[in-house]
Structure 1
Amino acid sequence: MQTRLARLPGWTVLALWSAAVLLPLYILVVSCFKTTAEIYENRLGLPQSWSLDNFTNAWTRADLGQNFINSLIVTGGAVVLTIVVSALAAYPLSRYKLGWNGIMLGLFLSGIMLPIRLASVELFTLMRNLDLLDSLTGLILVYSAIRIPFAVFIFANFMRVLPSELDEAARMDGAGETRILFQIILPMVKPAVSIVAIFTAIAVWNDFFFPLIFIFDDRYKTVPLAISVFVGQFRTDWGLVFASLAISMAPILIMYCSLARQIREGVGAGGGMK
């Protein structure tokens, strides 16, 4: 009984946190099947009829098919580019004893702390001069540049704890540095790759700010930008908004479920790092 009472505060906090997380998800799910009038009438109640009209209307009216392709291209490109560039940067910082390692890691950490949105005007000017406005390539480069500092920090911490004998044995067998990194080091830090991939994908997929200021052509809009068509100045169709939000959540949920085990292993390994 004493053990159970000692655990009661922790379980209470977990229960409150679970309620705070599950309540918005419940509202999202039930609202997908309601009309706007039903949502205003009873936000927590079940819909009168379980119809898929909101999903079909949201898909067609917002042209989510093309927007999904755009978001997949931008998100996938940003994830791949971030992983490759960050791994190339973290490898020498973590595996070689260089006098400026601490300074370089400090610079990368400063990139995490500084909000990039403060430089939106300068970034817009740079994108215009490089002729990257209204292009998916421009979005990929911007998102990769934003996520690289965080990814380098994660990769460097994971690579630092690997034994140096791995590199030495590979070099004795004639392997070059690129081969050592991509065929030996990265496979051993799969949890770090999964963490970088899921955090980058979530940040890129859900971002509304940069597509809003860099994309003007409807052909290149991403999913968050397309969903905004349902939000008007005088009227908002909340049923379509919730349905489109549920549709947009599906790829990230699938990705997280496929990488959940690697992420858990990464969190556990990260907790034991010195």
Structure 2
Amino acid sequence: MLGCPAGRRWSCGPQRCCCRLVVSCFKTTAEIYDNRLGLPQSFAFDNFVAAWTRADLGQNFINSLIVTGGAVILTIIVSAMAAYPLSRYRLGWNGIMLGLFLSGIMLPIRLASVELFTLMRNLGLLDSLIGLILVYSAIRIPFAVFIFANFMRVLPSELDEAARMDGAGEARILFQIVLPMVKPAVSIVAIFTAIAVWNDFFFPLIFIFDDRYKTVPLAISVFVGQFRTDWGLVFASLAISMAPILIMYCLLARQIREGVGSGGGAK
């Protein structure tokens, strides 16, 4: 639950939290402390303008888009290539490999933050968007492989055999036949990866030191101080940062519903 400015918890559901977020975007910090449930005195966009300029959200948005887009694309490609042989071929070590990927889901990667920081420093990937993309992709690949393998497993094997008879290679079968048939899986992996990467504060905090490469969560943190927090700008910047994920979800909502409704199968 989100903590309110007065130090108490907001015991409400997601819908009420979203409504309060939207309403608080138009309030000053004094108004939020005075009446956190009431409407603002005026629906001016001063908080949005101040949040965008003071936190340099324009550059941070570009950085977050690059990191999120790169992580989503790399995760989909690598995990699809890994899930294809595990789900389409009868190999003796398929179960062992899937177990290893599942262990990657269960083990929290933050336990290895020190070793990961040392590895990134040795590779020269600190203060680098490419470094963040590689870290996020490595974290999300186990989950993505699990999703892709479940969807690919139910596809009829006759599709692969027919494509091979026509002279198609394995790469062409994967990217031109199998992946288009598991679009719900692609959408699920894309939206879950995008949400996790876009909202993450931890890894940019420990890997990024230059202001030029900061992401949106790091930019929003400038409004939270030790002795004073400008809640109006915090809520406004949070509302701005939610927009890309909401747009992405609206575009992929149909595919996600199909994937959930099919119970892991392909339509």
More helix by share: 1
The 3 A distance-change label for structure 1 pair 256 and 239 is same
Distance (Å, rounded) in 1 between the aligned partners of 2:165 and 2:256: 33
- Deviation string 1:153-198 (CA, Å, 9 cap, x unpaired) is 0000000000000000000000000000000000000000000000
Counterpart in the other structure of 2:243: 250
Other structure's SS at 2:262 match = helix
The 3 A distance-change label for structure 1 pair 81 and 273 is closer
2:25, 2:232 within 8 Å by CA — same for their partners in 1? yes
Other structure's SS at 1:45 match = coil
Please state how far the C-alpha of 1:268 moved relative to its aligned partner: 1.0
Q: Which portions of structure 1, spanning 4 or more consecutive aligned residues, are displaced by more than 3 angstroms?
A: 271-274
1:158, 1:270 within 8 Å by CA — same for their partners in 2? no
Quick one: which of 227, 233, 245 aligns to 1:240? 233
Structure 1 residue 64 and structure 2 residue 57: aligned?
A: yes
The 3 A distance-change label for structure 1 pair 272 and 163 is closer
2:120, 2:126 within 8 Å by CA — same for their partners in 1? yes
Structure 1 residue 178 and structure 2 residue 140: aligned?
A: no
Please state how far the C-alpha of 1:269 moved relative to its aligned partner: 1.5
1:157, 1:273 within 8 Å by CA — same for their partners in 2? no
Other structure's SS at 1:170 match = helix
1:30, 1:47 within 8 Å by CA — same for their partners in 2? yes
- Deviation string 1:103-125 (CA, Å, 9 cap, x unpaired) is 00000000000000000000000
Please state how far the C-alpha of 1:272 moved relative to its aligned partner: 6.1
- Deviation string 1:49-76 (CA, Å, 9 cap, x unpaired) is 1110000000000000000000000000
2:184, 2:266 within 8 Å by CA — same for their partners in 1? no
2:26, 2:42 within 8 Å by CA — same for their partners in 1? yes
Counterpart in the other structure of 1:95: 88
2:98, 2:146 within 8 Å by CA — same for their partners in 1? yes
Counterpart in the other structure of 2:200: 207
The 3 A distance-change label for structure 1 pair 273 and 194 is closer
Please state how far the C-alpha of 1:141 moved relative to its aligned partner: 0.1
Please state how far the C-alpha of 1:271 moved relative to its aligned partner: 5.4
RMSD of the TM alignment (CA)? 1.7
- Deviation string 1:21-52 (CA, Å, 9 cap, x unpaired) is xxxxxxx0000000000000111100001110
Distance (Å, rounded) in 2 between the aligned partners of 1:232 and 1:136: 26
Distance (Å, rounded) in 1 between the aligned partners of 2:266 and 2:66: 34
Please state how far the C-alpha of 1:146 moved relative to its aligned partner: 0.1
Other structure's SS at 1:270 match = coil
- Deviation string 1:214-245 (CA, Å, 9 cap, x unpaired) is 00000000000000000001100000000000
Quick one: which of 214, 218, 222 aligns to 1:225? 218
The 3 A distance-change label for structure 1 pair 90 and 271 is closer
Range with greater deviation from structure 2 (125-134 or 264-273): 264-273
Distance (Å, rounded) in 2 between the aligned partners of 1:166 and 1:255: 31
Distance (Å, rounded) in 1 between the aligned partners of 2:57 and 2:156: 48
Distance (Å, rounded) in 1 between the aligned partners of 2:240 and 2:265: 37
1:70, 1:221 within 8 Å by CA — same for their partners in 2? yes
Distance (Å, rounded) in 2 between the aligned partners of 1:199 and 1:230: 27
1:78, 1:140 within 8 Å by CA — same for their partners in 2? yes
2:259, 2:266 within 8 Å by CA — same for their partners in 1? no
2:76, 2:189 within 8 Å by CA — same for their partners in 1? yes
The 3 A distance-change label for structure 1 pair 86 and 271 is closer
Distance (Å, rounded) in 2 between the aligned partners of 1:271 and 1:123: 33
Distance (Å, rounded) in 2 between the aligned partners of 1:44 and 1:181: 52
The 3 A distance-change label for structure 1 pair 189 and 174 is same
Distance (Å, rounded) in 2 between the aligned partners of 1:137 and 1:38: 42
Distance (Å, rounded) in 2 between the aligned partners of 1:118 and 1:31: 36
Distance (Å, rounded) in 2 between the aligned partners of 1:258 and 1:44: 32
Please state how far the C-alpha of 1:270 moved relative to its aligned partner: 2.3
- Deviation string 1:120-143 (CA, Å, 9 cap, x unpaired) is 000000000000000000000000
2:181, 2:266 within 8 Å by CA — same for their partners in 1? no
1:161, 1:273 within 8 Å by CA — same for their partners in 2? yes
